[in-house]
Structure 1
Amino acid sequence: MPKIASAQYDIGFLETWENFETKVRRWVKEAADNKADILLFPEYACMELASLFPQEIYASLSGQLEALQSLLPQYLDLFKALAAQHRVYIQAGTFPVKHANGEFRNHAYFFTPQGEVDYQEKLTMTRFENEQWHISRGLEIKVFDTVFGKVAINICYDSEFPHYARQQTERGATLILVPSCTDTEAGYYRVRIGCQARALENQCYVVQASLVGNAEWSEAVDVNCGAAAIYTPVDRGFPNNGILAIGEYNKVQWVYAELDLASVETVRNVGQVFNYRDWPKQFDCR
């Protein structure tokens, strides 16, 4: 059974790339030393890299997006090396990436122990991303192959829309990773409720990571709150409340759990209810 580590990751003012690299290496090593096989970081954890630039850049919503592009190759190389070094899968949170047409899209990169890299784009943007930050939505829904089975990613707000996770589970995903960044308690609970609903209706594991801590210097991620958690189906063999593990709200920490992914197929076939199997029947109603 794979062991997952989900981060309540604190955003910091780092000033140098070396400080960022030291911090990330420490986080990854801690999870690997605790025998984690899959590591999940939160959405927009990379925005602390804006602190490497002058104030006029990190205080500008558009300026920081442009500046971060110069660090993307180093960012990818770092996580690629760490995944290979520790023989783990890493979902490194998200990074806003500029496309050839000038659009910025929010990429959730997935790194494998074999040195492969792919990404899921965020598919539905929040009001802040649309109206103030001007980050565009992606269009492709993906699943990723691992030695443990297929894994999917719902980036924060995407977890609140059931058709994304449904398509991913129909393509074989038994584990959905949800990197999140929320600046209010209500926002955290929206994502949390979405995660639990996706786990319930698809009878699968859903894991949330949360960005925590305040960064008054940042125009993009100045306030961050939440808790990491591992959610499950609500059925025999799983916790009665559908929560396998959950962190202490706003504490900086890893949250760990072992995932019995084979039990997903079992509960879909012989569970007390057939949420996953009965999904198509909902569309027969008039």
Structure 2
Amino acid sequence: MTKLKLALCQMNVIDNKLENIKKAISMISDASKKADFIVLPEMFNCPYSNDKFIEYGEEEDGGHTLNEISKLACENNIYILAGSIPEKEDDKLFNTSYLFDKCGKIIAKHRKMHLFDIDVKDKITFKESDVLTAGNEFTLADTEFGKIGIGICYDVRFPELARIMVENGALILFYPGAFNMTTGPAHWQLLFRSRALDNQVYCVGVAPALNEAASYHSYGHSIVTNPWGEVLAEAGQKEEIIFCEIDLDEIKKVREELPLLKNKRKDLYEVIEK
């Protein structure tokens, strides 16, 4: 399979876990009619707030959210990247993304490696590390259409992570994210175009819709960028499903035309996975 139909579910997340799960189910059901691979946003079952991460946290085994997504993947015979949820393990809390295969089995999980601790003067302050623990593993998954890499939101700002995933065979980089109304307009599209262009892969970001009633305002603008650094599809700020077909043969074509990865001076520098 070289052509892949993606569905980006930019859902409106509210302060009600059951309603968020219902919304995700509805959007997945609609998207499954046209797509091969469905992606949900970062914290799709939970408002983006430290206190809500604690309140909404679930364990991986037996958690209501993951059980529902697993059933949907199996019933619709489709891959689902379940954006992220607050994952409890012992006394720790992680921001974790799960990839389900067509049988509803978890084939990869990514714990956000770079926690969102920022202070943009007079605009926004947020410190995930107050409640979340950082993940320490690179996340790649084998699928029937090739290998993919997974990061979460702030992870996209670190080019070393993307390069390591690509060096290990990733053809598509997925970053469920929730940029805000300060960082989003400034950097969201630029970062996704840059990671795609730097590594000559497809790069996909899926965000919650803008909910002005929430304490944290997501920028939205779920996006797909191609190996040439172009935007193939981009949402606005409202709730919607974005469909986009990508052709993985484009990766080989672009890399032959502009052989960036071959032209690296490995005798002078190299990114090493530890």
Same fold (TM over 0.5): yes
User: In structure 2, what is the equivalent of residue 149 of structure 1?
Assistant: 146
Measured against aligned partners, the alpha-carbon deviations of 1:182-236 in whole angstroms (never above 9, x if no partner) come to 2224335423322211100110000111112226455xxx3222201110122xx
For the residues of structure 2 that align with 1:8 and 1:67, how far apart are their CA atoms?
Answer: 20
Measured against aligned partners, the alpha-carbon deviations of 1:33-70 in whole angstroms (never above 9, x if no partner) come to 2x21111111111215x9xxxxxxxxx84465145327
User: In structure 2, what is the equivalent of residue 42 of structure 1?
Assistant: 41
User: In structure 2, what is the equivalent of residue 114 of structure 1?
Assistant: 103
User: In structure 1, what is the equivalent of residue 120 of structure 2?
Assistant: none
Aligned pair partner of 1:195 in 182, 189, 192: 192
Equivalent positions of 1:71-110 (< 5 A) are 73-100=63-90, 102-110=91-99
User: In structure 2, what is the equivalent of residue 53 of structure 1?
Assistant: none
- Matching residue's letter, 2:263: D
Equivalent positions of 1:271-282 (< 5 A) are 271=257, 273-281=258-266
- Contact 1:180-1:191 at 8 Å conserved across structures: no
Equivalent positions of 1:128-207 (< 5 A) are 128-130=126-128, 133-187=130-184, 189-207=186-204
**Cα gap change, 1:160/1:22 in structure 2, threshold over 3 Å: closer, same or farther?**
same
- Matching residue's letter, 1:39: I
- Matching residue's letter, 2:234: I
- Contact 1:188-1:226 at 8 Å conserved across structures: no
Equivalent positions of 1:248-259 (< 5 A) are 249-259=236-246
Please say if 1:246 is aligned against 2:234.
yes
Please say if 1:210 is aligned against 2:197.
no
Measured against aligned partners, the alpha-carbon deviations of 1:99-147 in whole angstroms (never above 9, x if no partner) come to 23x221110111111222131111101112445x421211000211111
- Contact 1:121-1:140 at 8 Å conserved across structures: yes
Of Structure 1 and Structure 2, the greater helix share is in 1
Cα RMSD (Å): 2.5
Which 5+ residue runs of structure 2 have no aligned equivalent?
118-125
- Contact 2:41-2:176 at 8 Å conserved across structures: yes
For the residues of structure 1 that align with 2:232 and 2:180, how far apart are their CA atoms?
Answer: 24
Number of equivalent positions: 258
For the residues of structure 1 that align with 2:127 and 2:163, how far apart are their CA atoms?
Answer: 24
Please say if 1:24 is aligned against 2:24.
yes
Report the TM-score when normalising by structure 1: 0.82
SS at match of 2:148: strand
User: In structure 2, what is the equivalent of residue 57 of structure 1?
Assistant: none
For the residues of structure 2 that align with 1:168 and 1:278, how far apart are their CA atoms?
Answer: 18
Deviation at 1:96, TM superposition (A): 1.6
User: In structure 2, what is the equivalent of residue 266 of structure 1?
Assistant: 253
**Cα gap change, 1:120/1:251 in structure 2, threshold over 3 Å: closer, same or farther?**
same
Deviation at 1:28, TM superposition (A): 0.5
**Cα gap change, 1:194/1:284 in structure 2, threshold over 3 Å: closer, same or farther?**
same
**Cα gap change, 1:85/1:162 in structure 2, threshold over 3 Å: closer, same or farther?**
same
Of Structure 1 and Structure 2, the greater strand share is in 2
Which 5+ residue runs of structure 1 have no aligned equivalent?
51-59, 235-240
For the residues of structure 2 that align with 1:13 and 1:259, how far apart are their CA atoms?
Answer: 34
- Contact 1:89-1:113 at 8 Å conserved across structures: yes
User: In structure 2, what is the equivalent of residue 55 of structure 1?
Assistant: none
User: In structure 1, what is the equivalent of residue 122 of structure 2?
Assistant: none
**Cα gap change, 1:193/1:275 in structure 2, threshold over 3 Å: closer, same or farther?**
same
Deviation at 1:278, TM superposition (A): 2.6
